[in-house]
Amino acid sequence: MGIVAIVGRPNVGKSTLFNRLVGMRQAIVDEAAGVTRDRHYGRCEWSGSEFSVIDTGGYAVNTDDVFEGEIRKQVLLAIEEADVILFMVDTTTGITDQCQLIAGILRRSDKKVIVVANKVDNNEQLFAIHEFHALGLGAPFAVSSVSGSGTGDLLDEILKYLPAGDGREEEKTIPHLAVVGRPNVGKSSLANALLGEERNIVTPVAGTTRDAISTYYNKFGHEFVIVDTAGLRKRGKAMDDLEFYSVMRSVRAIEHADVCLLMIDATRGVEAQDLSILNLIIRNKKGCVLVVNKWDLVEKDTNTMKTFKAGVVQRLSPFTDVPVVFTSVTQKQRLLNVLEAAEKVYTNRSRRIATSQLNDALLQEIENFPPPAIKGKHVRIKYVTQLPSPSPSFAFFCNLPQYVREDYKRFLENKLRRHFDFTGCPIQIFLRKK
């Protein structure tokens, strides 16, 4: 799984290109320079391949020397972690001093750099891109990130330089668990408690863990690799360089994991940032166990746990089929329950259902509740099979796949979950022509 980082000076259209590549309006775009301060992460699919895209953002500052220091840090971090760098420039302004500064750093790196000349909306601007040969980074690619023109050729070029595989197949015989969550929810404490040693530094200060730390675990009949990651947080101010690097590592840890232990703080409940991390897990099609930590700090009566769980599951909608484990890491409460839940989710994620079983269970459900007719067209689903993918994916073959709506896909997913145990695993549903 490759990582592509978009770098460049402010207001050249990095966030617009990012939104175009990940297929959703995830980053805020505005004409004012320096709007992007948080770091955005997304996934791009092209020609059957997937990779992560990081929008590094630009800086709007008053003095060139401050800009120079900050942009240098961001570009160096992107160079260190990414496989391919997209260096965005603006055809309407040409080469600036800031462009020269970034190009100088990129020329000294050993990473593949693709110069992306943005805002090419007519033939006159198409001729203007040749100016960027002077940067010494190869032929520029002309794109318009607003209209999307040129992005197909750019994506074809990116795929040439991404790693063919992540080289982790030999390690995948045992489950890889990633402990993820906001800062200071107890991720390192959980890893230490499970391992029975002070493997990771723990302090009350948010952001103590800077790197993704992998450790092999083999106790009490459980064997896996556990990865403690840095907290993924939303920041109104620019992240410092260490934190930016840490978050990139955390995203990569999620990509390489089989099951993610998403930790939340029982005293604060499910917050917006927790949902963002869950969406990252779902987009990467990883198994998930929700670990509600610091349960010892919550005042309880007979139904507290039941009520809290119902509230949490409602917040996670529509992906509600997730195991929820209540723990107190400091009190060593229910830690083995976390491992048992993770092992069960790992088994569910690897589950393969025979085609005959699938058709026996689901075709009857579809017959009882067929897809609604649209524009007088009746959809008839005739056959279903599981696809040979690492996570649960199913193909439903029908006469008019384009008329099957998202709500009916959710109906099919719910029926799959009802007949077969896929708790904790995102399910992909594809409608195919017969």
Dihedral Cα 60, 61, 64, 69, nearest 10 deg:
-90
Dihedral Cα 223, 224, 230, 232, nearest 10 deg:
-110
Query: What pLDDT score was predicted for residue 303?
Result: 83
Distance of CA 389 to the CA centre of its chain: 18
Going from the C-alpha of 260 to that of each of 184, 202, 250, 279, the distances in angstroms are: 17, 20, 11, 12
Q: What is the pLDDT of residues 252-284, one digit of tens each?
A: 788 888 999 999 999 988 888 888 888 889 989
Query: What pLDDT score was predicted for residue 148?
Result: 87
Report the C-alpha gap between 347 and 423 in whole angstroms.
10
Report the alpha-carbon angle 336-339-344, nearest 5.
130
Ranges under pLDDT 70 in the chain: 1, 24-41, 57-75, 77-78, 165-173, 196-214, 216, 220, 230-249
pTM of the model: 0.60
| Local structure of 398: helix, strand or coil | strand
Instruction: Report the DSSP beta bridge partners of residue 325.
Output: 291
Pairing of strands 222-228, 213-219: antiparallel
Query: What pLDDT score was predicted for residue 246?
Result: 58
Residue 82: Cβ-neighbour burial (10 angstroms; 0-12, 13-18, 19+): buried
Query: What pLDDT score was predicted for residue 416?
Result: 94
